[in-house]
Structure 1
Amino acid sequence: MYEERASRLPGAVVWTNTPDASGTGRVLPDGCMDLLWHEGRLLVAGPDTHAQLTEGTTGAWSGVRFFPGTAPALLGVPAQELRDRRVDLADLWPASRARRLGARVGAAADPATALEDAALALAADTRPPDPLLRPLVTALGAGRPVAAVAGELGLGARQLHRRSLAAFGYGPKTLARILRLQRALRLARSGVPYADTAARAGYADQAHLARDVRELTGLTLGGLLGG
């Protein structure tokens, strides 16, 4: 069972998940990075460009999902180094620092809240993220064209691409594509017909939506929604 709630860290989500008996799951790309706790291990989930399968994974998971672009500053690693990867925190931090945090989370009655506390402490001790990231994500998430958003933010194409790689793990066009997928999934899950979903989410047509969903998730839209 998957459950989530808004975090005390602005824009973040605290979640827990216990896979079903088969231990299978599919994590869809969403522009985010996560700090994870699973069976005594602290992990960082990098930004995904395609669905990640969790087949064979058992046991409860806890995590903090950071607002797109904010995790690299908190964790001290550029996002592109973690693209499509799941990495032990001890491989990114000094081992002693990672062990101390792991001991605190492991001793907590609620690992998810302990992870949230750790994220809040990191935010308090870290310089704020690039101030242009949030308006960039908001504009692309609303379907604004990349070139138009770059112009509004006063960024050239190369500068925007470089800053996007460090913050999101990929360029702004890939981010826009992933956010468009998430926009379409929200519409489809609310009952909007697929053709209307495609138009409202910014796809050329329903066939374009179908191709993008298949390429990014490995399933059809109906398969994702259980229909």
Structure 2
Amino acid sequence: MYVERASRLPGAVVWHRAVSTPAQAVRPVLPDGCMDLLWTEGRLLVAGPDTRAHVPGGAPARWAGVRFYPGTAPALLGVPADELRDLRVGLADLWPAALVRRLTARIDAAADPVAALEEVALDRAEDTEPADPLLREIVTALGAGRPVADTADRLGLSTRQLHRRSLTAFGYGPRTLARVLRLQRALALAWDGVPFAEVAARSGFADQPHLAREVKELAGMPLRALLADP
């Protein structure tokens, strides 16, 4: 079972998942431009930004995570997003090992590990400079379907500057970020029952076949199968 809620950290989401048996299906994690701080029994990890669907492996386990708004995690974690692209790494690879051991033990012992993990993120945010507000404007513009060149011009950047900032903040260039955000727009409409042809038109795809190709490439399965997956 997967459950999420808004975090007290602006723009972030707190989630948890419990898989009780090996036969219970685990949905793939789809690209969304975000990075996550993860906890599972005895471990703290970071999920970098995905360019393709990620299928969690390993034995059934409890998981909790803080999913950061796109572009905000690198400042909190102290690492450029492109260094973690398509990766899951131990937090001890990024932060002092002794600190990570203490944090892990604290969360493991907490009555509510989900809330304890969120507190780690909140404590870290208090000691971190806020992310550049320009990053949110990039997400807003590309998420609304604006072309990359137009987005750069509106923000007073060259396309090269926009590309560099995007790599550091989001893990990939603005064109890939735009594809990921367009996918998320399409999925939100499809889950609401909008016909696929209308989903394609409203999300910014050339046509329904274009939508089908992008979903298959980024999500790893056809749109209809994705929606039918329980």
TM-score of the aligned structures, taking structure 2 as reference length: 0.96
Matches within 5 A, 1:128-143: 128-143=130-145
Question: Which residue number corresponds to residue 196 of structure 1?
Answer: 198
Q: Residue 25 of structure 1: CA displacement? A: 3.0
Alpha carbons of structure 1 residues 108 and 101: separation in structure 2 relative to 1, 3 Å: same
Whole-Å Cα distance in 1 between the matches of residues 146 and 114 of structure 2? 34
Name the stretch that deviates more: 103-112 or 65-74: 103-112
SS at match of 1:209: helix
> In the comparison of the two structures, how many residue pairs are matched?
227
Q: Residue 48 of structure 1: CA displacement? A: 0.2
SS at match of 1:72: helix
What percentage of aligned pairs have identical amino acids? 69
Q: Per-residue displacement from partner, 1:10-47 (whole Å, max 9, x unpaired)?
A: 00000001136325431100000000001210000000
TM-score of the aligned structures, taking structure 1 as reference length: 0.97
Question: Which residue number corresponds to residue 5 of structure 1?
Answer: 5
Contact 2:11 2:69 in 1 (8 A): yes
Question: Which residue number corresponds to residue 52 of structure 2?
Answer: 50
Whole-Å Cα distance in 1 between the matches of residues 122 and 58 of structure 2? 32
**AA matched with 2:10:** P
Q: Is the aligned partner of 1:147 residue 2:161?
A: no
Query: RMSD in angstroms over aligned alpha carbons?
Result: 1.2
Question: Which residue number corresponds to residue 175 of structure 1?
Answer: 177
Q: Residue 157 of structure 1: CA displacement? A: 0.9
Contact 2:7 2:118 in 1 (8 A): yes
SS at match of 2:111: coil
Q: Residue 102 of structure 1: CA displacement? A: 1.0
Whole-Å Cα distance in 1 between the matches of residues 66 and 175 of structure 2? 25
Structure 1 ranges of 4+ moved more than 3 A: none
**AA matched with 1:67:** Y
Contact 1:12 1:64 in 2 (8 A): yes
Q: Per-residue displacement from partner, 1:131-163 (whole Å, max 9, x unpaired)?
A: 200111111112121111111111111111111
SS at match of 1:84: coil
Contact 1:25 1:55 in 2 (8 A): no
**AA matched with 1:163:** R
Whole-Å Cα distance in 2 between the matches of residues 56 and 125 of structure 1? 34
Name the stretch that deviates more: 41-50 or 54-63: 54-63
| Residue among 102, 109, 115 paired with 1:113 | 115
SS at match of 1:31: coil
Alpha carbons of structure 1 residues 37 and 142: separation in structure 2 relative to 1, 3 Å: same
Contact 1:19 1:25 in 2 (8 A): no
Question: Which residue number corresponds to residue 75 of structure 2?
Answer: 73
Contact 2:138 2:151 in 1 (8 A): yes
Contact 2:20 2:61 in 1 (8 A): no
Q: Could you tell me which runs of 5 or more consecutive residues in structure 1 were left unpaired when the two chains were aligned.
A: none
| Residue among 50, 60, 63 paired with 1:61 | 63
Whole-Å Cα distance in 2 between the matches of residues 190 and 20 of structure 1? 29
Q: Per-residue displacement from partner, 1:96-134 (whole Å, max 9, x unpaired)?
A: 111121122112111111111111111110011122001
Whole-Å Cα distance in 1 between the matches of residues 65 and 201 of structure 2? 34
Name the stretch that deviates more: 68-77 or 123-132: 123-132
Q: Residue 85 of structure 1: CA displacement? A: 0.4
Q: Is the aligned partner of 1:35 residue 2:37?
A: yes
Contact 2:35 2:68 in 1 (8 A): yes
SS at match of 1:26: coil
SS at match of 2:15: strand
